[in-house]
Structure 1
Amino acid sequence: MKFYQKYNDWVIGSNIDKVIAPSQFIIDEHHKQGVFTDVPSERIPLGIDTTELKQYKAKNYDQCNTRLLYAGQLTYSKGIDILIDAMKQLDDPDLELHILGKGPDREMLEKRARNDKRVKFHGFVSEEELARQYTIADYTVVPSRWYDNSPMVIYESYARQTPVIGADIGGIPELIEEDETGYCFKPEQANILANVIESHKGDSTRLATNLTDVDVSLETHIDRLVEVYESLKE
């Protein structure tokens, strides 16, 4: 609390005209601590460079019927163990989970998934391979157990027209339109995640079509920032 008080004192003394953040969640968290409460705020989602997407645009479905993707750090806060436990509850030989990334929990996670050949660890991959994995996935899963602000993995997934299944925590649900661009589940509940996967594994094509109209470009993000800056000059 002392930190936030010092932070707030600094902010007040800095003559802030407006606060911008990629999620309403992070704005609300500051307000709860008494920070930025008297300053106008605006949520501006992030953006990514979409100029090189065309070569990966088309889906390339392989032999498995439903392909799940996790991309990110292999740490406790990211909840990969929850996703692996959900896989264990789904007796579907045509379901696969592909885990991309590195981190201190890899060995533990590999042991957790040891007897499930449907779970595959790829380690750190190149940008080209990451793009390919997004494209051929049916869903990207974001199973975080801790508060994420506005995960880039969701923007990257949408850019490849791949819907997202995400934990209902932090800023994640702000980026997921239920039954339009993906689905949310109660965090840290492997059984609920398993139910979501089982119930909606046939919906990914429909949701992918919806994502053709979702703009996650860096250009749009910059345009919105410029609009804010210009409005403050007036």
Structure 2
Amino acid sequence: TFHEFLTICHNHGQMIKSGGTKLCNRSSPIDCNGCFPNISPASFLRRERFIKAMLELADHYVSPSEFLANRFIDWGMKAEKMSVIENGLDIDQRAKDRPLSKSQPRRSRFAFFGQLTMFKGADILLDAVGRVPEEIWGDDARLMIFGGNLDRQPEEYQEKVHDLIEKAGERVRFYGAYQNTEMPKLMELADWTIIPSIWWENSPVVIQEAFFHGRPMICSNIGGMAEKITDGVNGLHFRVGSAEDLADRMIEVLSDNKAWDRMREGIPSVTTYEECAEQHLAQYREVLETRRQSAKAASLQTVASTA
């Protein structure tokens, strides 16, 4: 089962050009040498051939998203050996809707869940919040950030995030790291969930969690995020890395009191871990049957050739 691009990309499996945030659309020995000049194209070619030889030993591959599957197929993996099975979710308690009041009738609470790394785009989100006009933001809107490990990021990025939080003032609440078991209660505080990642993402679990709890989403318009979240149906897309475009999407939902109900109706059902397990078992049975038939055919061919 594939969950990232580590076999394809030497840059921590991010498919991002080293030394910056530029997205990488393909992997080749020449392209990889451009990111790592100290490693020759020939070395990257040997790496690629070795990894592909090892992967070829598998009878079948599973990906949690079409996007990730297609990346591996474009890299040279056999499409007929690839299946897409969504990750299963193991949650019993469903979050209640946030109660509204006559004085605060809007679905105006936004939440970010995840690691505070530059690739997750928290700085983009904080920048966007500061761009929403005061008359639209109002007294009821709020961004809640649930996540940790900012202290492990480069000092320059830490300072940038702290400056943006200070600039945003009362618009932002920072809650720190959380446990997965807390998610239902935390979701009850939010109306919208935002994924501002600047890397591709493949099948972020937070999408399934938000959908399970009935929360529409706003996400970057690339990768597994754009695949899972349908623009205008169960959420909104914004141009990756653009605080201006994200601010426009936030203005859009803050200005339309019917947007939340409309997009909530478009939220799909979420795959449970039991359903995920059954799909994997069905795939295993199919692979085993294919191997059995191949072995039988080979045996008959051997008998025929020796008769």
TM over 0.5: yes
1:67 matched to 2:109: yes
Task: Please name the residue that 2:85 is paired with.
Answer: 44
Task: Please name the residue that 2:238 is paired with.
Answer: 185
1:19 to partner: Cα distance? 1.5
Q: Once structures 1 and 2 are overlaid, which stretch shifts more, 100-109 or 18-27? A: 100-109
Task: Please name the residue that 1:159 is paired with.
Answer: 212
Q: Is the 8 A contact 1:64 1:96 kept in 2?
A: no
The structure showing larger relative contact order (alpha-carbon pairs under 8 Å, at least 6 residues apart) is 1
Which residue identity does 2:142 align to in structure 1? E
Q: Is the 8 A contact 1:85 1:190 kept in 2?
A: yes
TM-score for the superposition, normalised by structure 2 = 0.68
Bigger radius of gyration among the two: 2
Task: Please name the residue that 2:191 is paired with.
Answer: 138
1:209 to partner: Cα distance? 3.5
**Alpha-carbon distance in 1 for matches of 2:204, 2:246:** 19
Q: Is the 8 A contact 1:19 1:39 kept in 2?
A: no
Which residue identity does 1:100 align to in structure 2? F
**Alpha-carbon distance in 2 for matches of 1:99, 1:131:** 15
1:159 to partner: Cα distance? 1.1
Q: Once structures 1 and 2 are overlaid, which stretch shifts more, 73-82 or 86-95? A: 86-95
> Structure 1 residues 38, 154: closer, same or farther in 2, change over 3 A?
closer
Deviations 1:149-178 (A, max 9, x none): 111111111111111111112211111122
Task: Please name the residue that 1:111 is paired with.
Answer: 163
Deviations 1:22-67 (A, max 9, x none): 1122222222322x136421111112112x214x3x2023558300
Which residue identity does 1:228 align to in structure 2? Q
**Alpha-carbon distance in 2 for matches of 1:206, 1:84:** 26
Q: Is the 8 A contact 1:158 1:214 kept in 2?
A: yes
**Alpha-carbon distance in 2 for matches of 1:73, 1:121:** 13
1:107 to partner: Cα distance? 5.3
Match of 1:217 among 272, 291, 306: 272
Deviations 1:100-152 (A, max 9, x none): 01023555413212032111100013445432222331111000001211111
Match of 2:71 among 29, 42, 56: 29
Q: Is the 8 A contact 1:135 1:162 kept in 2?
A: no
Q: Which runs of 4+ in 1 moved over 6 A?
A: none
**Alpha-carbon distance in 1 for matches of 2:274, 2:124:** 35
Q: Is the 8 A contact 2:98 2:191 kept in 1?
A: no
Coordinate RMSD, CA, aligned: 2.0
TM-score for the superposition, normalised by structure 1 = 0.88
Q: Is the 8 A contact 2:73 2:79 kept in 1?
A: no
Give unpaired runs (5+ residues) of structure 2: 1-28, 30-43, 290-307
